Amino acid sequence: MRKITYIDAMNEALHEEMQRDENVFVIGEDVDIDGGVWNECYKLMETFGKQRVVGTPISESAFSGLAAGAAMCGLRPVLEFMYMDFVGVAMDQLCNQIAKLHIMSGGQVKIPVTIRMCGTGTGSREAAQHSQSLEAWFAHIPGFKVVMPATAKDSKGLLKAAIRDDSPVIFIENRNLYYEKEPVPEGEFIVPIGQGEIVREGTDVTVVAVAYSRHKVLKALEMTEASVELIDPRTVDPLDMPLILDSLAKTGKLLVVQEATSECGIGAEIVRQVVEKGFDYLDCPPVVLGGKNIPTPFSAPLEDHVLPQVEDIAEKITAFAKYQI
């Protein structure tokens, strides 16, 4: 299969969807200039022109609202936050407007907005205001779907699915994956929202790895003998619980790995649903390995300490595998 980068895969999705549906447009800071700061909008301006490739001032509330209003009138905006961390300035437009307009109107308006959270990730020493993974905020608010592709293939397939979805979709990207080449099928394909993926089959432990953690877990597997079933949920709201529960029926042991802080995170949510729906499968206490409950510090050794490292994951997996009922 051909190999392209995560960012190019998303860029292909944008080209294809904008070609397919003239109501699709992109909006965000710098998207109209030199293909955007991440190169995510490469050639969009040249191909679709400035009415459909809308550069904005640094006014996230205003342009998020613009997207919502345009969606109310039938357009399908793809909205960009340059980093997920900046979403704080627009939480009202996202969570009180975009997520709720459909229901507040009694179903009369739809808000098919795709909200790209670019530049999410850690490990590049960008400190507390550029290192957050805030998927839990949106999973907590009814009205959104939330996806977190961890491969180039999923980045394309999920972006296309998001754009075609009639609900607002929070699309969370990881900057550490942007420029790695990976296999991506040619042409059209969709990765359905709500479908997880079994990355590795195994029998000892089920590891659910959220987003970038998938790659950390894969590295950790090289350091352990345990037979691990690795699941990438891909969509974190709604979760693919049947997939997770089926795996647990086999392994009886659950580890969730995520970069976000554990408190009230996706891992906690998975545990809540797992114990409610699959308590009898569990042979030992499910554990969430997440970011520590501290704002991410700048200094390298401190940042590494705050986030789950490959060694931590390997250690936990080994301990889990050894655990006897």
Partner 1 sequence: MIKKYYKRMLTIRYFEERIKQMYRGGEFFGAIHLYIGQEAIAVGLCSQLSDNDYVFSTHRGHGHYLAKTHDTKGAIAELFGKETGCSHGYGGSMHMFNPLKGFMGGNGIVGGGIPLALGAAFSAQYRGTNEVSVVFFGEGASNQGTFHESLNLAALKKLPLIAVCENNRYAATTPVALSTSDEDITKRADAYGIKSLSVNGNDLTEVIAAAKKAVKHVRSGNGPFLLDCKTYRVEPHCGIIADKRPEDELAQWQKPENDPLNCYQAQHPKELNSATVAALETDVKYEIEEAVEFARASSFPKVENFIKEFAVQ
The contact set with a second copy (CB under 8 A) reads 61, 85-89, 91-96, 99-100, 103-104, 127-129, 134, 136-137, 139-143, 237, 260-269, 271-272, 275-277, 279, 282, 284-288, 292-295, 297
From residue 86, alpha-carbon distances to 40, 91, 93, 98, 130 in Å are: 18, 9, 13, 17, 8
User: Which 47-76 positions form the footprint of ligand TPP (CB under 6 A)?
Assistant: 58, 60
Tell me: does residue 106 bind partner 1 (CB under 8 A). Answer: yes
How near is the Cβ of 136 to a second copy at its closest, in Å? 4
Tell me: does residue 21 bind partner 1 (CB under 8 A). Answer: no
> Structure tokens of 161?
């699915």
Cis peptide preceding 192, ω within 30 of 0:
no
How near is the Cβ of 37 to partner 1 at its closest, in Å? 5
Q: Is 130 a catalytic residue?
A: yes
Q: Which of 29, 32, 165, 303 binds ligand TPP (CB under 6 A)?
A: 29
- Out of 12, 17, 80, 130, pick the active-site residue: 130
Which strand (E) or helix (H) includes residue 199?
strand 197-200
Cα–Cα distance for residue pair 35/168, rounded to 1 Å: 24
- Out of 29, 60, 80, 173, pick the active-site residue: 60
Q: What count of other Cβ atoms lies within 10 Å of the Cβ of residue 62?
A: 13
Cα–Cα distance for residue pair 254/242, rounded to 1 Å: 14
Q: Which of 15, 16, 128, 318 binds partner 1 (CB under 8 A)?
A: 128
> Structure tokens of 80?
């960009």
**Minimum CB distance to a second copy smaller for 4 or for 136:** 136
Q: Measured at CB, which residue is nearest to ligand TPP?
A: 86
Q: Which of 70, 71, 82, 193 binds ligand TPP (CB under 6 A)?
A: 82
Residue 94's binding partner out of ligand TPP, a second copy, partner 1, none, with CB under 5 to 8 Å set by partner kind: a second copy
Tell me: does residue 65 bind partner 1 (CB under 8 A). Answer: yes
Name the burial class of residue 109, with classes exposed (0-12), middle (13-18) and buried (19+) by CB atoms within 10 angstroms of its CB. Answer: middle
Q: Report which residue type is found at 283.
A: D
| Contact flags string 174-213 toward partner 1, x per CB under 8 A | ----------------------------------------
Cα–Cα distance for residue pair 147/155, rounded to 1 Å: 9
Phi, psi of 170 (to 5 degrees): -90, 120
**DSSP conformational letter for 73:** T
Name the CA radius of gyration of the chain, rounded: 20
Active-site annotation, residues: 60, 130
Q: Which residues bind ligand TPP (CB under 6 A)?
A: 29, 58, 60, 82, 86, 89
